[in-house]
Amino acid sequence: MIKIRSLALAGAMMLAATSFADAKEEIIFGISASTGSLQQQTAAEFVRRANEKLGDKAEVKLFDSSQIGKDKELMQKLKLGTVHIALPSSIMSSISDEFALFDMPFLVADRGHLARIEEKIFWPKIAPTVEDDGYRVLAVWENGVRHITNNARPINTPADLNGLKIRTPKSTWRVKMFKAWGANPTPMSFSEVFTGLQTGVIDGQENPYTNIASAKLNEVQKYLSKTGHVYSPAYPTMGKAMYDRMDPAIVSVLEATARELEAWARNKGEEADTALKDKLVAAGMSYNEADRAAFVAASKPIYDAFAAEVNDGQALIDDAIALASGS
């Protein structure tokens, strides 16, 4: 009887071990971006492609619209390992000042320029700076080219921002930018922006067309001013500890697929720029194109501060500007 029980127990343990080994690993991908935004569309395409490649080995599950946390919470959960991938954007410059290169106003000339900055500067000099903080960047996707909306008046020059409460991401350098332009920057999670605008807690905000449209900010904003002041990337990111201990075959698929989506995201962003602007105007927003030269002139203090405060800041700026010509 004892022998029979022992055999039965051994068989049950073997079955459990086999079941555990064969279980599909669940990979949680949390983002704060709204459904329909370019970030969400890119994340969904990543999930589709990655799951095809992973087969029975693992499954990536996407949770958008801050369902499982806002950006700051998601970054904490990456370290804890309760979320496996997140998609931070501007918040990265609050973790590493080097990421604020992309917060320098009017630095990125176009998406081709961004691709050259990524290859020559981002991977060797910027991405590694967050690894000591516990993060591993997988790729550079697109958040988009940012413009200003508000309920007070068209924004033609920085003087038009005087006294306006403008929501910014929780980015130290974006706050500095809007202070330099005369606004009253108000850092706030994106999920709170619609209500903040609706209730008058803030007067305006700045975001790519894709985020403005997907969050329906046209319903609570009158003026849309094309400033194009910043091109903001988005970074599919893992916790460094999770990256190091996850099955290397799975990590390889995640990383390769994330890099595949870079060109896809930029192409989608470029295609959508005009269409989304027209959609917002058709929905009732008053549109104007700001005086770029006036904003560029008012942005010099931001560049000076970056050069003074960030390790090799001037060299990063100089190298990025030199890549604008395509050389």
Mean pLDDT by 10 residues, the chain (327 residues): 45 41 85 96 98 98 97 97 97 96 97 97 98 98 97 98 96 95 96 97 98 97 98 98 98 98 97 95 98 98 97 98 86
Q: Is the separation of the CB atoms in 32 and 66 below 8 Å?
A: yes
Q: Is the separation of the CB atoms in 127 and 137 below 8 Å?
A: yes
**Helix (H) / strand (E) containing 207:** strand 204-208
Report the alpha-carbon distance of residue 71 to residue 86 in Å, rounded: 8
58 forms beta bridges with 25
Q: Is the separation of the CB atoms in 145 and 233 below 8 Å?
A: no
185 forms beta bridges with 166
Length of the chain: 327
What pLDDT sits at residue 22?
54
Helix 300-309 to helix 313-322 angle (10° resolution) is 130
Single-letter amino acid code for the residue at 59: E
**What CA–CA distances, in Å, run from 123 to 183, 307, 326?**
33, 20, 18
Q: Can you name the CATH fold of 22-325?
A: D-Maltodextrin-Binding Protein; domain 2 (3.40.190)
The residue to which tokens 């990524």 are assigned: 118
Report the alpha-carbon distance of residue 269 to residue 208 in Å, rounded: 9
Report DSSP letters for 141-155, one per residue.
EEEEEEEEEESS---
Report the alpha-carbon distance of residue 298 to residue 259 in Å, rounded: 36
Domain ranges across the chain = 22-325
SS3 label, residue 89 = coil
CA atoms in the 13 A half-sphere facing the CB of 158 = 19
Nearest to 118 by CA among 141, 90, 145, 85: 141
**What CA–CA distances, in Å, run from 92 to 149, 167, 218, 234, 237?**
23, 17, 27, 9, 10
Phi-psi map region of 208: left, alpha, beta (phi>0 left; psi -120 to 50 alpha): beta
Nearest to 133 by CA among 240, 238, 29, 233: 240
Nearest to 33 by CA among 71, 78, 77: 71
Single-letter amino acid code for the residue at 89: S
Tokens of 233: 């990337």
29 forms beta bridges with 62, 85
Q: Is the separation of the CB atoms in 314 and 303 below 8 Å?
A: no
